[in-house]
């Protein structure tokens, strides 16, 4: 899980990110399912502070999603976590109705055994852009969840 993030003008605090990934790496090396689950939950709920000269936010978000998958006990527990997710409502976020519709289709494809529906859902998610609206879903949470769904749809069953 070694990462080499790009430093940008405004990004995530490097010390917080490095600490979170060090803990995740320790948990992965321990082999303990409880430690792995705790580290996965901690990563999923961690909010990094934005600072001057920090790590690129997109790179860190993608690495967090990858680390969560790597820490999953098995594919089924990770897949189950994708099926039941709630997003915070933000003042300006993604329009809720299209997000719910697209994610429901992706979840149905994930639950199906059809490689064609999984590929179609993966392609649709990879090219999706949601409109921003008042009182919409938190954009960071939705983007993170879409990234996880894309990873799950890409992995063979």
62 and 108 co-located in one domain: no
Among residues 7, 53, 1, 45, which one has the least CA distance to residue 23? 1
Condensed to tens digits (0 to 9), the pLDDT of residues 131-155 reads 999 999 999 889 988 988 888 888 7
pTM of the entire predicted model: 0.55
Q: What is the pLDDT of residues 29-78, one digit of tens each?
A: 877 888 888 888 888 888 999 999 999 998 888 888 778 877 775 555 55
User: Which of 33, 50, 73 is the endpoint of a domain?
Assistant: 73
| Residues 98 and 137 grouped into a single domain | yes
Range of the domain at 101: 78-157
CA distance 13 to 34: 27
Residues 65 and 130 in one domain: no
Task: Say yes or no to pLDDT of 130 above 90.
Answer: yes
The answer for 46, left when phi > 0, alpha when psi is -120 to 50, beta otherwise, is beta
């Amino acid at each position: 899980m070694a990462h080499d993030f790009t430093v940008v003008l405004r990004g995530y605090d490097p010390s917080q990110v490095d600490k979170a990934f060090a803990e995740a790496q320790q948990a992965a090396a321990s082999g303990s399912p409880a430690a792995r689950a705790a580290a996965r939950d901690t990563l999923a709920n961690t909010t990094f502070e934005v600072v001057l000269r920090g790590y690129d936010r997109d790179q860190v978000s993608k690495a967090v999603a990858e680390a969560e998958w790597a820490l999953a006990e098995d594919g089924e527990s990770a897949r189950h976590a994708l099926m039941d997710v709630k997003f915070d409502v933000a003042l300006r976020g993604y329009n809720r109705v299209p997000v719910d519709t697209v994610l429901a289709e992706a979840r149905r494809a994930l639950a199906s055994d059809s490689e064609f529906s999984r590929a179609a859902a993966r392609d649709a998610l990879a090219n999706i852009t949601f409109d921003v609206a008042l009182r919409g879903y938190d954009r960071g949470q939705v983007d993170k969840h879409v990234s996880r769904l894309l990873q799950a749809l890409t992995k063979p069953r």
